[in-house]
Structure 1
């Protein structure tokens, strides 16, 4: 597919495993060392088992078992595309189901296969080879089955649109061959297609989840019901670190429908749950509850207190994350030095569907229904709480109404909370935990607050000879299974430590702080703040040295052809070099995250009511474009999410209490506020890289750089609303 064809498609668009006999199920596992077929068991019913990535039923339906959660990012469609390509299946026969929790089969290969979960924009990237091999293996077995039946060489068999055929005119749909195929040994040396022969990968296809979601048939956790199910609503402490001292449930129990009031304590938090026949009864009971909190060890600082501490830390050397050359010596010789400080608030994930979960505790077992993002962690944590083996905790994947990292919690906070409530009740009835929007805003977890101090030295010609970057903020991975002995939390410095610009003397430092505020990865993690600081500071340098921002970046990227290609493409498509109208200003930013490179140009128009963001031009190199339309959707989604945070996003504290509780105090971008967006994909033959997150961190610096073109004043603190900046 040519770049022009991709652009035309993208810009035209926007907005038990085994269920009976006669099914062919193919399971492939690719550990770090390569492909390995799982042990096959051919049963009398003609079904090849045990667990699987691909299942083909008698009616020719091809079901892809997705180890990754569908949270709106289009992973189900992308994963299905890979399998459909290798099978030469008809798109209309493709279905996707969430796979069960099974780390051996479904471990995330991008994380070494040791954990099962969705995150880090890894769904397509880590599954690409794995699903190609699974699809190719299923195809080979169908071809062999047909060749045996028709007594012809397998080399003479072809498949097109889900039909297996021979030049003699004989043909069969997949379903007609699965019983025979299931009896065959599973081949271990099947060769997947060469990308040059692709006829589906690289072309857009309808999303596999669109119809169910648009007709209301898709089941999210909030929709899920079981016989006898009760609903829990929780009173969480008003300050982090507080514990339940005592509570009076007298009035709560008088609310019609309330069945129980129980206290729980988990590693994440303490609380009191009101359990009732339905949500409204539980909420009314929670509102009638009286709780006395022990706040002796609670967080009681305000945001201003933390900012003051962080600013002081920027004046002191931190742990060195990257060091090249000698910055002090280079600063001493520089013709001029520039300094800047950038400040970023805590951010809420603000998912469309607040946290929720369904748990049913049985005799020596537990079953969970959830928009599941972190199977390994959740399964292990719940098993520990209940004194079970992880294998006795069954997890059922449902659709998730957004996450942005929130549902991938190392402490499994809200999932364990649900199990703890069910355990405290001593019930075998299913318990559904429902957080209100207010709970979701105030109970944690957040993107950490950060302060960056930067200093650059330039020579007489304006060339950057020294670059020092000091970052202050909380660690996301401290105290989790992802922690190491390294004092540097890589999530705090990503995007800064791997800065692609060639600067001979460069140093990145980190101060890790330890407030009691619970923090977590947030869409594009560390890049949410490092991209802003680095790209805005680079524009500051360009402005102070009278250099074109595009030309300056180009001069620093000779060792990074991918970045250079993206930069050139976004400059070309945005008309960066062309004459602009007097009321037009452009802002540019470029950043790599999750192995993808994204460039964005924000186009502003000056109006009597202030600057208006008219459009955003985006270019991305994400390897092979499995489904260009999904990539465009994710760039648009990421830009909208990042723009929302840049304009108004901030979680603030006053004496330890969160000041925001709903969308009136934590505004999010509305659809009528979205600019026009066009996405251009760099043609590539490399394996796919991430697309769910890389579009997010680039929009804020692109917008800020455009705003600075108007009056020459850099924006060094987010959100823009706190700096008096409001778009028309």
Structure 2
């Protein structure tokens, strides 16, 4: 892809969204609707290609260039998104090439910000509509180009199809004008405009004329006429990944490149007190030692440290390990996981928390309303988690002629450009960014701490390009972690096993507060939907319910992790639902069915998974979980055995309703990936803190599921005509509770803490 330049530097002020007492306060004025078809900045095109709008250009040979504003990190957007344009243009997918989008605001991710609103999926009415409309306007003005929140297809569904449809209409208009014919007498097929009498012109031959043609009315295809969308297509990135041609961040090799290895404080929040560069400057290949502490913005995730620059990474790393560095710490050196969980418990005891959802009259139920025969209580907990992407943190930068050239595997190119300009002390339009492929993101590469570090080092490298690579140990011990959390439940049942009241209160840190302070300078405050998502927005129809959350801040750096709050809240909620089924003396599937009378889509997904799973073989048990996240409903049945203290997952049936399935092949791949990712966390994942230090460092003490431990995953894609929803994350949350519920069947032990251990 081409390099990306940022226009005039922008400072965004997004005053925050707060929902309280039924009123919405938005720190921003309403403004008229903005289109997402035509960009202010021209696409970076090669040769004679002609741009027809902000999304599409056509070359004389018929090649169609499509703007790509989202990062490819294994989730398949380099295939799914061009399918949207190819479908509307009637061109083969093979004729499409991708160009990196500019930072024009039409490419901003609106769907992701709208999904962050703390509304229940069943909420309806004018307030929800007004808030969604307003936040959509805010998001359009912010223009944040971010890949996250399982939002790529969801956000692109309308504008990229419109881009393709508009280009098609312009090509038809150009052909009709050349033939002195009516546009309605023309059709398109396989990259050509075809007249009813048989005359035809290729898109390439029409491109120049089409650029000045008025498209007239832009009509999107009816789904019944789709030829690409809904049909499995091969991944476009697979061949290059097989033959080694794919360029990830760690593969970048600009001429004259040198390497940097880092040393960062082993204690959270520690800063450099002293460093002795002379101790390593004579080691083989070592070129310089750079203390980048004072060069970084105040909020950059991993923060300060020292880098050693050398001719090879091995030389840089060995010298960094040998470098004498002393660190200055503060009260954060006393941090521990035990103390943090104790604080969670104390705050849950003392505070009512923010109520994200209420229904019925819980006060009456808790006042021992008539009919309460049994009360079930439980406490669940989940630890901090690292991202552990297979490609370790890295970034490459060159500071030359007062410009910054940046090669980054990033999920947020806008933030990367801004921080690079700030650290280098140049205008943002002096930064040129190439977004490479990502060897896994999972939310870690939404942050740009590595960008700040490498630019600070490159500024001192005499014009040489510098590739900074974190070791696995650096990566694990200096992550921005999935929050730890503690959740309490209480439910009241009548004599027949009906749940009369359901209460859930949880505590954790806030990812969003930290992230937006680091990257947008926003002061933290107010509720954060991600803390309670998966708890307050559940589908079960309890007549009386109350779901609350208490934000408990700590110095532990937090970041978005695949499926965010759903990742642990689904475990809490679906495990407790199983507890209630057991207390009610009912089968866990029948119990759930009884709570889904007004949710036919959820019921259909649950029934599909259970039917496909069939009966569990002898010596194994099936555990069930049903969860909705990022708009997608997922039901999983995990087939589990227990041998001694080992929990083994053999098979997972995963039914999904994600709306229109753009590419069923990718949906199945994402389901498989999400199950294995979630299973790693369910069985092994835990980051613990003692004396201010992260205790885990590499895969020996932060293991992931190996290929011989991976279950068979069968994915069922439910037919749907609804708007596409997210798919990169939704299959992660249900796997932990599905496994835990199966273990209960086998052993009678209710596992209420992650990772699951017997």
Q: Do they superpose with TM above 0.5?
A: yes
Distance 1:18 1:144 in 2: 33
**1:448 and 2:483 are equivalent in the alignment:** yes
Q: Out of 334, 340, 352, which is 1:306 matched to?
A: 340
Matches within 5 A, 1:592-631: 592-605=628-641, 612-631=648-667
Q: Deviations over 1:524-552 (max 9, x none)?
A: 00001110000000001101211111121
2:177 is matched with 148
1:80 is matched with 82
Residues 450, 471 of structure 1: 8 Å contact kept: yes
Aligned residue for 2:679, secondary structure, equals helix
Q: Out of 247, 262, 267, which is 1:219 matched to?
A: 247
Aligned residue for 1:697, secondary structure, equals coil
2:562 is matched with 523
2:443 is matched with 405
Matches within 5 A, 1:294-443: 294-321=328-355, 322-331=357-366, 332-333=368-369, 334-409=372-447, 412-423=448-459, 425=460, 427-443=462-478
Q: Give the superposed CA RMSD.
A: 2.5
1:476 is matched with 511
Q: Out of 93, 96, 100, which is 1:94 matched to?
A: 96
Residues 252, 284 of structure 1: 8 Å contact kept: no
Aligned residue for 2:724, secondary structure, equals coil
Residues 53, 167 of structure 2: 8 Å contact kept: no
Change (3 A) 1:117 1:31: farther
Distance 2:146 2:269 in 1: 28
Q: Out of 245, 252, 260, which is 2:273 matched to?
A: 245
2:610 is matched with 571
1:652 is displaced (CA, Å) by 1.2
Aligned residue for 2:349, secondary structure, equals coil
Distance 1:610 1:442 in 2: 27
Change (3 A) 1:573 1:33: farther
Aligned residues: 688
Q: Out of 663, 670, 695, which is 1:634 matched to?
A: 670
1:233 is displaced (CA, Å) by 0.8
1:608 is displaced (CA, Å) by 8.2
1:127 is matched with 156
**1:463 and 2:498 are equivalent in the alignment:** yes
Q: Give the stretch that moved more between structures: 655-664 or 390-399.
A: 390-399
Distance 2:738 2:548 in 1: 25
Distance 2:596 2:248 in 1: 45
Distance 2:273 2:569 in 1: 41
Q: Give the stretch that moved more between structures: 76-85 or 384-393.
A: 384-393
1:233 is matched with 261
Residues 17, 52 of structure 1: 8 Å contact kept: no
1:200 is displaced (CA, Å) by 0.9
2:106 is matched with 105
Aligned residue for 1:192, secondary structure, equals coil
1:22 is matched with none
Change (3 A) 1:17 1:305: closer
TM-score normalised to structure 2 length:
0.86
1:223 is displaced (CA, Å) by 0.5
Residues 272, 304 of structure 2: 8 Å contact kept: yes
Unaligned runs of 5+ in 2: 5-30, 114-138
TM-score normalised to structure 1 length:
0.90
1:188 is displaced (CA, Å) by 6.0
Distance 2:214 2:555 in 1: 53
Q: Deviations over 1:139-160 (max 9, x none)?
A: 1222223333344332232222
Q: Deviations over 1:606-662 (max 9, x none)?
A: 668965422111111111100011011101100010001101011112212211111
Distance 1:554 1:32 in 2: 42
1:284 is matched with 318
Residues 633, 657 of structure 2: 8 Å contact kept: yes
Residues 50, 59 of structure 2: 8 Å contact kept: no
Distance 1:96 1:188 in 2: 26
Distance 2:311 2:639 in 1: 52
Q: Out of 204, 219, 241, which is 1:175 matched to?
A: 204
Distance 2:160 2:183 in 1: 22
Distance 1:188 1:488 in 2: 45
Q: Deviations over 1:493-536 (max 9, x none)?
A: 01112122112221222222222111101000000111000000
1:109 is displaced (CA, Å) by 1.9
